[in-house]
Amino acid sequence: MGKSSVSAALAVRVALLRPNSPVLLLSPSQRQSGELFRKVLNLYTALGAPVPTVRETALQLELTNGSRVLSLPGNEGTIRGFSEVALLVIDEAARVSDALYYAVRPMLAVSKGRLVALSTPLGQRGWFYDEWAGTGAWERVRVTADQVARISPEFLAEERKALGERFFRQEYYADFCAAIDAVFDPRDIAAALADDVKPLFG
């Protein structure tokens, strides 16, 4: 099962078992949020709609227990106004702007809700990389393509040839590669600044 399907299952679980709880699905575009929302609807239907629906649209599922699942675009200026959010899912998180991320975090303050960010990397930049590489209280899970039984070694070998090593490792091995236009590799910079090397003079 893919990361989007797992996140959709989590969204359905929260909506069904935690009454009066908003669940927000965010991504860089409305189309991408809509795809994740479609998986939510499919799972809800497959379960036999155990909590009846008050309203169902292409972008929102509202249940009789007061919970709502909403699909929203990645636009910081138009998503404000939600509060006491029980679950916030950010899909393609590496491509979501810092401004949007900072705007949605306060939505979890009162509810002590859960934030789930899922993505392939997009270089060593932005909030998603900072959170992954930082020391914040996140549970970090990395799944590489060779751990997925549905993806054959033959396909991966062909992709490695087609994409080149850098883009292949980013897309299939979840590597946060240095920016392609960087003058120095961050690993080289970090090695040069190692504090365990004694100065030559003094």
Question: Which of residues 141, 157, 172 is at a domain's end?
Answer: 141
Phi-psi region of 66 (alpha: psi -120 to 50; beta: other; left: phi over 0): left
In a domain, 199, yes or no: no
DSSP-derived letter for residue 26 is E
In angstroms, rounded to a whole number, what is the distance separating the alpha carbons of residues 43 and 150?
Answer: 21
36: amino acid identity, one letter: L
**24 lies in the same domain as 105:** yes
**72 lies in the same domain as 22:** yes
- Tell whether the model's pLDDT for residue 84 goes beyond 60: yes
In a domain, 195, yes or no: no
Give per-residue pLDDT as tens, 35-83: 999 999 999 999 999 999 999 998 999 999 999 999 987 776 667 778 8
Alpha carbon distance, N-terminus to C-terminus of the chain: 58
The answer to whether the beta carbons of residues 175 and 121 sit under 8 Å apart is yes
**The domain containing residue 118 runs over which residues?**
3-141
C-beta contacts of 176-183 below 8 A and 24+ residues apart: 176/121, 176/123, 176/124, 176/129, 176/132, 176/133, 177/121, 177/123, 177/124, 178/123, 178/124, 179/123, 179/124, 179/125, 180/123
**68 lies in the same domain as 112:** yes
**40 lies in the same domain as 98:** yes
Identify each DSSP E strand in 27-119 by its residue range. Answer: 53-56, 60-63, 68-72, 87-91, 114-118
State the pLDDT at residue 196.
Answer: 73
State the pLDDT at residue 185.
Answer: 59
**124 lies in the same domain as 183:** no
In a domain, 197, yes or no: no
Q: Is the pTM of this model over 0.75?
A: yes
Band (pLDDT 50/70/90 cuts) for residue 10 is very high
More confident residue, 198 or 174: 174
What's the CATH number where 44 sits?
3.40.50.300
- Tell whether the model's pLDDT for residue 195 goes beyond 90: no
In a domain, 10, yes or no: yes
- Tell whether the model's pLDDT for residue 156 goes beyond 90: yes
In a domain, 123, yes or no: yes
- Tell whether the model's pLDDT for residue 187 goes beyond 80: no
Q: How many distinct structural domains can be found in the chain?
A: 2
**63 lies in the same domain as 161:** no
